[in-house]
Structures are given as C-alpha cells and as structure tokens.
Amino acid sequence: MVDEHGNPTGEDVFNFKPRAFIVIGSLNEFMGEQGVNQDKLRSFELYRTSITGIDIMTFDELYERSKFIVVSAQP
C-alpha cells in the first residue's frame, strides 16, 4: 500500500477468492420408482449453477471425482 503521497507504507494487501464446496445428499435422491425424477434433477442443476463462488455437489459426485483423480495420478 502507499500513502497519499505515493510512498510505500510497508503494509501488504492480499486479494484472493478461496474456493468453497458444499457436499450434500446423493444422486439416489433423484430416483423414483420409474427412474430419474427429471423435475427434481433439473431443479437441483438450476440451483447449483445459480450459486457463484461455491461448488455444490453430491457425495456420489465427490467420490467419483476423487476416484478419477487417484486413477489419473497412477502411472
């Protein structure tokens, strides 16, 4: 930072945007007796894409993402 004359004050300012995650529920919650409840799934997708700065995912999705990372890291 600088003072009103442009001289350095010795203070440092950091601007960052930490990544945030919300993990909730499972994909099975969108299943009905006859298959996927499209209204529930669509509503969930609309909700999670409308939130900025936070990744919202189900436990199933987190597990699959983690599994992919581990498998990809193996030679």
Domain ranges, residue 68: 20-73
In a domain, 12, yes or no: no
Task: Report yes or no on 11 lying in a domain.
Answer: no
Q: Identify whether 67 is part of a domain.
A: yes
pLDDT recorded at residue 21: 94
Residue 54 and residue 46: Cα distance in Å, rounded? 14
**CA atoms in the 13 A half-sphere facing the CB of 43:** 7
Give the model's pLDDT for residue 75: 80
Res 18: pLDDT: 84
- What confidence score (pLDDT) does residue 55 get? 94
**Residue 25 and residue 52: Cα distance in Å, rounded?**
20
How many C-beta atoms surround the C-beta of residue 30 within 10 A?
19
Q: What is the pLDDT of residue 12?
A: 86
Instruction: Tell me the per-residue pLDDT of 13-53, one tens digit each, with 9 for 90 and over.
Output: 887 888 899 999 999 999 988 999 999 999 999 999 999 98
**Contact by Cβ (8 Å): 17, 55:** no
> Does 14 map to a domain?
no
